[in-house]
Amino acid sequence: MIKELINQTSDAVVAAVKGVDDVLDALTSTVKHQVVDAMKDTGEVSHTGVDVVASVASGAIKSAGQVGASLSDVATSTMSGVINGASEVGGDVISAARGGARGIVQTTAQTGGDVGAVAVKAVDGAIKSAGQVGVDTTEAAKAAVGGALDATASVGGDAAQKVREALLSAAALPHDVIDSLLKGDHK
């Protein structure tokens, strides 16, 4: 089911952006609808499966090259779609932020993209989107950072260090929150 959901999302994103002027808006909308459909299909409305959301996010990142958008832009739009989709069906937005960041960072690493830059965009997108749907932005940041670090554990190499350095040096992120999260992460 996971691989099917990744491919389905990738195909849906590619189809949705053909012929549109605003590729990122179409991507956000498509990701949102994929999350809504996946949550309804799995029956996990109140407690979204992190794997389901991660799969949708992975599919969106996988499509980036085909839709002519940067991984960073796709990461931001994907996180917005994930958060808004979970919120729309009454799902666990915080778990969705974690799953979204995990899928975004993991697939970026697999495609050879800049995991640090994408992690920053995913966390920033989680914070902004959570605020827009009325969810605690600090909790969303914590979840997204956790999801990004979960992804680096599975891809190995120096991905974790790159993500930590990028998150700590990002001007757009709340340094007190990020610093405390990363200092407390000595697993």
Q: What is the pLDDT of residues 120-159, one digit of tens each?
A: 999 999 999 999 999 999 999 999 999 999 999 988 889 9
The predicted pLDDT at position 186 comes to: 42
Is a pLDDT exceeding 50 seen at residue 47?
no
Q: How far is CA 58 from CA 68, 132, 180, in A?
A: 16, 23, 27
Sign of the dihedral defined by the CA atoms of residues 58, 72, 179, 138, in that order: negative
Structure confidence by residue, pLDDT tens digits, 85-102: 999 988 899 999 999 999
Look up the domain containing 10 and give its range. 2-183
As a whole-number percent, the residues of the chain with pLDDT over 90 amount to 47
Per-residue pLDDT band at 4 (split at 50, 70, 90): confident
DSSP H helical segments within the chain, as ranges?
Answer: 2-17, 23-42, 50-62, 64-67, 71-88, 93-110, 115-132, 137-155, 159-169, 175-183
In the chain, the number of structural domains is 1
Query: What number of residues does the chain have?
Result: 187
The predicted pLDDT at position 48 comes to: 44
- Say how far apart CA 46 and CA 37 lie, in whole Å: 14
Q: What's the one-letter identity of residue 167?
A: L
